[in-house]
Structure 1
Amino acid sequence: MPNLIADSLPNLEIPDYLTEQSDYATGGRFGAALREILADTTAFARHQEANLQPEVVEAMGKKIRDNGVKYIYFMLPTLGARTVAKVVPAEHYERMLRKGIAFHRTALTDLQTSREGELIGGGVDAHEFWGLPDPETFQVLPWDTEVGRVFCTAYDPPHLGKDGGRMIPLDTRALFKAAHKGFTERTGLELRSGLEPEMTWTGPGIEAISKEDQSPAYQVENLEKMRPVYKKLYAYAQALDFDMIQGDYEDAGQIELNWEYDRADLTAERMTTYRQICKQVARELGLQASFMPKPYNGKMGNGCHHNLSLWRVSDGVNVVEDGRVELHATDTARHAIAGMLLHTPGSMVVMASTVNSYKRFWDAGQFAPSGADWGLDTRGVAIRISANGRMEYRLPDASVNPYLSHLFLLAAIEHGLEAQLDPGDPGQPSALLDNVVVPNTLGTAIEAFEQDEYLMGAIPEELSRIYVQLKRDEWARYCGQITQWEFDQYWEAIP
């Protein structure tokens, strides 16, 4: 059998650091490359120079004029997968291309105050960051064509002196784009992904009716009830350059609409946009739309499976498959799978990022995986080969920050490829994975991340530290709440 890892990564040798604990703990080449990128104090100036090229300024101005845009949202995603923005009259677009727009630094950390009253991510005295727009992301909102939007990249302002001009690691969108670019330069491979975002809708006229113990999934009558929803969703998504491919009804009020896979950074960006589309459709129809991971016991949770493939950029070949008809994983895919499974415990704080996320795994019989395993077309595993050329990572839920999930997966994949890690056979994990235990609460997920030396070295220190602080605060708030379940269990329990 050909050595497909060697074929796909012709210049890749196993580096010494993979056998040296001190280097492993720094996140290998992945972590070293990100630290170098984040130390670059010329990043803002180079972005600004690119924005002010005459053809760039004219192209954005033409789109604004041709579409009658009067207002523009200048947007960034946060650590918690929200989106923050400022609105600017469209005539000031050239000024924004030059200097960007200022936000308080804690906007990237969801403006969250801890239980102790501290504004997480720097406090009230934290300096502002400047968000420089990425003009290629400018689009007109189809539900109000007088409004446009553009994504921005966050930088420390140049006036901070030696610390100024650097990209901020809390900007997960920009960080993943930079990480993916470096991954491709090192390996010759591009990560492509397609997401399966499930979500729950409630409101008048869309209630599902089914017999006891019978799922309402796939029934055309239930799709018909959701017709006003999916028609608007499709229309708005297609206007924003989504290639919508299919959708289905999965459980009471739950639908999943999919778009074509693409380069992973574009897929993550579309996920951010898709959420905004869903909220807009809900407003227009008088419904509620939620990406909460587990709204109800006894019903399917809202997952967001990541379908992953690796493509050789030199010739456009998908190295996750090799032309065989039977379901299989190539050597390259196996190494990638091993890396993802090995680092699944440490990644869960991102893949299942809320207290509620773990209720999805505790509810038996609902197709949610709970182990670090893989298989061929079986739904009970963490990674499923559902079709040749595609690795379906099934652990993320619908509340996931897609930039962070792809960042963690990319770091794990690169480790697997470099070290040529072995996942074992489907249903029979290798010795490497024998003792891998997947966390089942947010609290244990935080601990697992902190114990994964590779991930702690691969992910920028500021991002890891602040993300853990946010998650520890969330877990503490939950642990301090007295629930109705506790009252029912213990109020009359003794004697």
Structure 2
Amino acid sequence: MSDPQSGGSFGASLREILADKMAFARHQEANLAPDTVAALGARIRETGVKYIYYMIPTLGARTVAKVVPAEHYERMLRKGIAFHRTALTDLQTSREGELIGGGVEAHEFWGLPEPETFQVLPWDPEVGRIFCTAYDPPHLGEDGGRLIPLDTRALFTAAHRAFSERTGLELRSGLEPEMTWVGPGIEVVTKDDQSPAYQVENLEKMRPVFKKVISYGQALDFDMIQGDYEDDGQIELNWNYDRAERTSERMTTYRQICKQVARELGLQASFMPKPYNGKMGNGCHHNLSLWRLADDGSAENVIEDGRVELHATETARQAIAGMLLHTPGSMLVMGSTVNSYKRYWDAGQFAPSGADWGLDTRGVAIRISANGRMEYRLPDASVNPYLSHLYLLAAIEHGLEAQMDPGDPGVPSDAIAGVVVPNTLGSAIEAFEADEYLMAAMPEELTRIFLQLKRDEWARYCGQITQWEFEQYWEAIP
């Protein structure tokens, strides 16, 4: 068994991946294979696309892109896009005036397209999109040609591939993205202390929204499966589970779909974790399963063993223990904003606040809601899905490597019993730094810059005078 202080097998593998100086060259060579160039050209011509967004998700779960006339696809396969490196950290300037992620003197990164990700945007069939992977340019010499760890999409994809090679397992996930819509015609009226959840009349008010969101999702290869109304203006539309990087990519796309639908309907669509007190926050539960891969391409869900009663297999228990043990250290990822933690303070709104697990109970961090899946309930709708899956995968592998025991539902093992979940962004920052395993497992540049972004956000919040303070202290002191 590898040393946990070095981040285990997970950390060793990531260090090897990020040390590969030939990553850019291999990607470029694959892009320029005659069959690849011809296939992308044929797709562009048959769809009639005239413009293409070349896109990369950022550390903060946004997306940066350049738009390029479609006929330049071969040039883009060779050269890709170039941005200042701090675009990957949302071009955020600190309170002290420093451009986080390298400052103004930071060099550019190069993003090579992944032609298999080409899709046509259903709201404008003349526009397509392709995801790219970010590299340090080869002309940097010793530092060039490597994958940039701030590209969380590419980092998770590489980490997951290596995890599967080591363990024979694949992580699959399905997300439950809740969000809040506001605007004319969708206002809700209810009796005092009565929830508007699930009522068909409220779904009817949202009919223009869900029809467009579902149809756009289906056009972009989502297998849309169900949706419901949950609280004032809050709906949740779900798509089928898949390999975790595909699920993450669809979450990135889903946000773009919702923003486009809001523009078309004259509404506002928000993924803010906790817009209102006394109402449910916008969570993004991660439903996770592990599948053992066979040589013939088949796969078996090892979270399931055929029993009818709700249960967790030994593999599931070890994975659960790893996730619970590292919940404090990963909360900065799962709840990445100041507002995220308001979800956990508002009692009675179904948001978990402890590192515990159970069978079909909504007050825990991880529940077995159905045989074959583990529902991790802490992430909220602002989450970077690539980063959340990366941290969950590292925690799961630690649990499997160490054969951890989570205890029984409601009776945590000694290893889990003392785990305390942070309840503010400030305490999450401290817990993030204190998790030696995760800090060693993840790339130093990623954790350093993520911490800088979150410390800056926390400092900005702590320095703001709020209306609540005026109401409490303006007249009431002394």
Which TM-score band applies after superposition, normalised by the shorter structure?
Answer: over 0.9
Q: C-alpha displacement at 1:48, in angstroms?
A: 0.4
Aligned position for 1:166: 146
Aligned position for 1:345: 328
Q: C-alpha displacement at 1:57, in angstroms?
A: 0.7
In 1, distance between residues paired with 2:335 and 2:387? 11
- Match of 1:306, SS state, is strand
Aligned position for 2:66: 86
Q: TM-score, normalised by structure 1?
A: 0.96
Map 1:209-288 to 2 at 5 A: 209-288=189-268
In 1, distance between residues paired with 2:459 and 2:405? 37
CA offset digits 1:76-122 (Å, max 9, x no partner): 00011000000011111100001111010000001000000000000
In 2, distance between residues paired with 1:145 and 1:53? 27
In 2, distance between residues paired with 1:294 and 1:70? 40
Map 1:372-451 to 2 at 5 A: 372-451=355-434
In 1, distance between residues paired with 2:456 and 2:6? 26
Map 1:26-425 to 2 at 5 A: 26-314=6-294, 315-425=298-408
In 1, distance between residues paired with 2:47 and 2:76? 19
- Match of 1:167, SS state, is coil
Aligned residue identity for 1:109: T
In 2, distance between residues paired with 1:294 and 1:66? 44
In 2, distance between residues paired with 1:480 and 1:437? 26
Q: Which moved more, 1:242-251 or 1:59-68?
A: 59-68
In 2, distance between residues paired with 1:174 and 1:241? 21
Aligned residue identity for 1:474: E
Aligned position for 1:475: 458
- Match of 1:317, SS state, is strand
In 2, distance between residues paired with 1:54 and 1:383? 48
Q: C-alpha displacement at 1:311, in angstroms?
A: 0.2
Q: Which moved more, 1:56-65 or 1:481-490?
A: 56-65
Where does the alignment leave 5 or more consecutive residues of structure 1 unmatched?
1-14, 18-22
CA offset digits 1:453-490 (Å, max 9, x no partner): 00001110000000000000000000000000001100
1:494 and 2:469 matched: no
CA offset digits 1:104-159 (Å, max 9, x no partner): 00000010000000000000010000000000101000000110000000000000
In 2, distance between residues paired with 1:115 and 1:278? 31
**For 1:457, which of 418, 435, 440 is the aligned residue?**
440
CA offset digits 1:319-346 (Å, max 9, x no partner): 0010000000000000000000000000
Q: C-alpha displacement at 1:68, in angstroms?
A: 1.0
> Identity, % of aligned pairs?
85
CA offset digits 1:387-445 (Å, max 9, x no partner): 00000000000000000000000000000001000000001000001110000000000
In 2, distance between residues paired with 1:24 and 1:341? 16
In 2, distance between residues paired with 1:101 and 1:224? 43
In 2, distance between residues paired with 1:357 and 1:300? 12
In 1, distance between residues paired with 2:287 and 2:104? 40
CA offset digits 1:325-370 (Å, max 9, x no partner): 0000000000000000000000000000000000000000000000
CA offset digits 1:39-60 (Å, max 9, x no partner): 0000000000110111111111
Q: C-alpha displacement at 1:25, in angstroms?
A: 1.9
Q: C-alpha displacement at 1:385, in angstroms?
A: 0.2
Where does the alignment leave 5 or more consecutive residues of structure 2 unmatched?
none
In 2, distance between residues paired with 1:199 and 1:191? 25
In 1, distance between residues paired with 2:116 and 2:5? 37
In 1, distance between residues paired with 2:287 and 2:107? 39
Aligned position for 1:3: none
- The alignment's C-alpha RMSD in Å is 0.5
In 2, distance between residues paired with 1:384 and 1:268? 21
Aligned residue identity for 1:332: T
How many residue pairs end up in the alignment?
475
Q: Which moved more, 1:186-195 or 1:309-318?
A: 309-318
Q: Which moved more, 1:47-56 or 1:334-343?
A: 47-56
Q: TM-score, normalised by structure 2?
A: 0.99
In 1, distance between residues paired with 2:51 and 2:270? 27
Q: C-alpha displacement at 1:494, in angstroms?
A: 2.3
- Match of 1:25, SS state, is helix
In 2, distance between residues paired with 1:444 and 1:241? 40
In 1, distance between residues paired with 2:172 and 2:435? 25
In 1, distance between residues paired with 2:423 and 2:81? 40
Map 1:5-44 to 2 at 5 A: 15=1, 17=2, 23-44=3-24
Q: Which moved more, 1:339-348 or 1:314-323?
A: 314-323
